[in-house]
């Protein structure tokens, strides 16, 4: 089976549990993705302002707040993202219910496939 390619793409992982960060990082290890990780909303909001970010995987609850502001900023910048959370999707505010979501725990390989699909879809929309 061919591995998904993220060559030339930069991904942000926002997660406060070190073992989950490790699992996600290992899943993307051989895909060619440049990974940046953080465990705070404050740092993630700074990273999102840099050009070149291709996508993000976000936990909802972080030590310094929930990721709602981050979701909003990613949407404004047209950066695809996945909410990867132990919270139920039904617990999110209405505007967040339409974003891609994966409940924890899940096989990290699913995150890789979901992210690849989102990035490809985003690139196709940008071309049109």
Residues 6+ apart with CB under 8 A from 106: 84
For residue 64, give both structure tokens: 């310094």
Structural domain spans, the chain: 10-127
Write down the pLDDT at residue 12. Answer: 95
What's the topology of domain 10-127? Rossmann fold (3.40.50)
12-47 pLDDT tens trace: 999 999 999 999 999 988 888 999 999 999 999 999
For the question of whether the overall pTM of this predicted structure is more than 0.85, the answer is yes
Mean pLDDT value across residues 97-104: 80
CA pair distance 9, 60, nearest whole angstrom: 23
Residue 128: pLDDT band (50, 70, 90) is: low
DSSP string, 91-127: GS-GGGTTS-EEESS--HHHHHHHHHHHHHHHHHHHH
For residue 105, give both structure tokens: 């725990």
Mean pLDDT value across residues 52-69: 88
Angle between helices 108-127 and 18-28 (to 10 degrees): 60
């Amino acid at each position: 089976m061919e591995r998904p390619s993220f060559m030339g793409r930069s991904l942000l992982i926002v997660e406060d549990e070190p073992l989950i960060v490790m699992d996600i990082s290992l899943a993307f290890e051989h895909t060619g993705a440049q990974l940046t990780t953080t465990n705070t909303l404050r740092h993630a909001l700074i990273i999102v302002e840099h050009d070149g970010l291709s996508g993000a995987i976000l936990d909802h609850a972080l030590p310094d707040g929930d990721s709602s502001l981050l979701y909003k900023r990613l949407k404004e910048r047209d950066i695809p993202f996945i909410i990867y959370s132990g919270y139920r999707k039904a617990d999110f505010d209405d505007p967040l219910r339409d974003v891609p979501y994966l409940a924890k725990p899940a096989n990290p390989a699913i995150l890789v496939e979901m992210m690849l699909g989102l990035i490809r879809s985003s690139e196709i929309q940008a071309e049109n």
